[in-house]
Chain A
Amino acid sequence: MHTATIDDSAHHDEHPYGLMRWVTTTNHKDIGTLYLWFSFVMFLAAGSMAMLIRMELFQPGLQLVQPELFNQLTTMHGLLMIFGAIMPAFVGFANWQVPLMIGAPDMAFPRLNNWSFWLLPVAATLLIASLFVPGGAVAGGWTLYPPLFIQGGIAYDMAILAMHILGLSSIMGAINIITTILNMRAPGMTMMKMPMFVWTWLITAYLLVAVMPVLACAITMLLTDRHFGTHFFDAAGGGDPVLFQHIFWFFGHPEVYIMILPAFGIISTIIPTFSRKPLFGYVSMVIAVASIAVLSFIVWAHHMFSTGMPLGGQLFFMYSTMLIAVPTGVKVFNWLATLWRGSISFETPMLFSLAVVCLFTLGGFSGLVLGLVPVDIQLQDTYYVVAHFHYVLFSGAAMSIMAGVYYWLPKWTGHMYDETVGKWHFWLTTIAFNVTFFPMHFLGLAGMPRRIPDYAMQFEGFNSIASVGAIVLGLSQLLFLYCVVKCIRGGAAAGDRPWDGADSLEWTLSSPPPYHSFAVPPQVR
């Protein structure tokens, strides 16, 4: 009997080698790795586009790119960063970490898992290929507003198809994560004993299942408006262009939290580890995440204050938006209380996490400023908004991803990463990020609209500064690549538990963990 079990697990460890291993894999760690590498490639691709945008904006006048290409670059940068870099990176974390943290052998639906990943390269290829079709890529902004979106060429249909595929992939991934968390937890791990990262992903997955179909509806309506004579968004046929914005943002605002809740999960894992203290206010943290998710469904029209809503609508969405500050504040206070009277050390993951807490708070403040209708009317569609969402999405989401990679890299590879390179990466990224995006607050206040390829003379100073920052920020990410590759190829042995403050289940396994994580479920007390 005993021998049989060992034989069995040995059999499962067999897998094809080379390319076929990755194409056919149903293993949660392999798929997690695929997701993470895919998202990093997209991060570099979309980041290069941002650098091109910033180079054009270094000085007034048109130098490098013409307005047609400029609009394509801003649109593709947004779409690729959101759907190609940030979302898949978090799914990559979920794949690697959720089974490890709840004591499961793998994800609930391994083949579905394989398929949800391999849809991504297809969608990304479609999107990137659309840059090279006649007329160029989508240029109407990532928000796809009609009627502008109706005007474009074949690339627009390719983008719609790509987003359908991405949506499908997200929905399948989310169903897999929900099923895994609800059914495959180790004996003794009740819901309220789950690590915070698992909690945030459970709630994120529900958000995904709820809103991705809404996006699918919106873009299908665009498609039929473009080709099949419907008039959902065309006033001449009884439709309304603003209807699209309502549907889009009903997806779009929960989408924002889809990109930030798992980041909260990562930060809530790392800060206790390096403070050598349990997370402060676990229960209130769970309630805060759940409240943010619920509130995210009733704030969407704060993206549309300048479309001309009735007074009642503007007031409702202003109040509901301001409410979100409460649970978000609770999270920040909890992190602060976790740090308080801890025994704090400053390894790279902790540095990134602390920067996320500070910078995300700044992004939260600018969000509060934008939430007030009168101020929003002034700042909507300006660089202030660009600054705001980069403070939440880059220094919130992307830097949490970096924190998480440094934190779990020793577990994933079995080697310690190079702490010196990691710290260089951290400081360069944080400083360059602020040099790039902080001045954009001033540009927006002074009246510079977003999505313009050329600007008036008074905006030159801060634009030049931002451009220099952006180039440094972009190039610094090569250090990240170097550090990760170096760690994969070798380094000091990590041991099972390289961080003395870490206490979730993944640290009870070897580093790297066995091909099948928990063949025997651990007992949680």
Chain B
Amino acid sequence: METLQNLALGFSQALTPDALLYCFIGVTIGTVVGVLPGIGALTTISLCLPLTFHLDPLLGLIMLAGIFYGAQYGSSTASILLNVPGSAPAAVTCLDGYPMTRQGRAGIALFVTTIASFIGGCFAIVLLIFFAPLLAQVAIGFSAADYFAIMLLALTAASTLGAGAPLKGLCMMVVGLILGLVGTDLNSGQFRFTFGIPALADGISLVALAMGLFGVAEILANVTSGQLPVLENARVTLRSMIPSREDMKRFWGSCGRGSVLGSFVGMLPGTGPTIAAFMSYAFEKKISKTPEQFGNGAIEGVTSPESANNAAVQAAFIPTLTLGVPGDAIMAVMIGGLLVHGITPGPQLITENGALFWGVVASFWVGNILLLILNLPFIGLWVKLLSIPYKALFPAVLLLICIGVYSVNNSAVDVVLTFVFGLAGFCLNRHGYPSAPLLLGFVLGPLIEENFRRAVLLSGGSLAPFIERPISATFLMLTALILALAGWHRLRKVPVKPVE
């Protein structure tokens, strides 16, 4: 009952005209900027943070949160339409979203993305409202050994993402793992593969890598194909956006699984939406009866990562607001915003600043509904983008990629890296080496190394915690099971399904 009273207090805060206005401004800026390639939620929030310093804390936070999930919604749009991800997590959406566009199903892809995002977001908000303190305790109970085991499972399960030959995918994954090593070794402080370039000391920028491999490589492939793609010239009617009954049947299950998985990954500090999206995609492919459709426009390949990444971003608020532990970099920036207002997040936030806490939580809901209203009519507009001739579109998209990558760290070196990865990705893709496993290896590699070494350090040089801790042992067993199954299929010479 108390929760409901609190919620009522929250809505009374979130439904004032001012709060609605700033929520609306936030989600609109977020959506528009999120659509732009390379500019994800983190960059947008960093850029807009100073704007909120002059606002009332509640309004500022509502606006920032709006930008945050608005960008998350928006970033899938360019993935689906142009195979240019709006942000790193949206790279996963490219895998099946873009094939859907090529099949003339762009409207449907955007529609289900919007709905899936909404469901994922709402699911995590429900968790946040009713179970936040409990879940935060669970999340914080995961030790380094457990993280290691989970990440290893994710890597194993997802090692053949997208379409293409499994061996080539594995090669690319290892390349990703290697690229993840670049920068300062977290344990010794030693610089690895930085070649004396200071900008590389912090590692390769994820955005630069994702934009190069997906955005630039895709454009180069189109430009050199001799025939520029004509993506869509059909008029978008409301009907062309509505998924068929068959689509919807596949939609609900994948969306539900994505929401659960995304919430779980999101509330673990130190993970984030990219990992959530990859994991749910891999999971969906694993349990699918038709895994061969993945990478060729499977609707589950769009809905499950989209619901997962939105659930993850909302679930990231669980440890932030209850323990003061930001789930990811974006949360850290938002906490900085609060500090400027003299408010410290943490367990006492709910008691001391109840109106603020519940106001923000309620505004999440308001914002998600605003986004739904905002996005559905936008779909037609976005699809019309495709009627711009490609030769006019791609130079502009390239410029937006440059700016987007630059804006993350205000670093020109990052843009040079995008160029390098674009060329390399183009060459490798041309020969059937997929980009997605590389990105996954890059994201998970550092986490795997870091947590493995930390677990060993914490146990004083023993490998025992990996087997002794129940969470870790369970996940390691699952990993072994997957590997054993793959080996078994090989041995039996079962017609090689793309099993990992």
- A-B interaction: no
Taking Cβ atoms with an 8 Å cutoff, the residues of A that contact B are: none
Partner-A contacts on B (CB < 8 A)? none
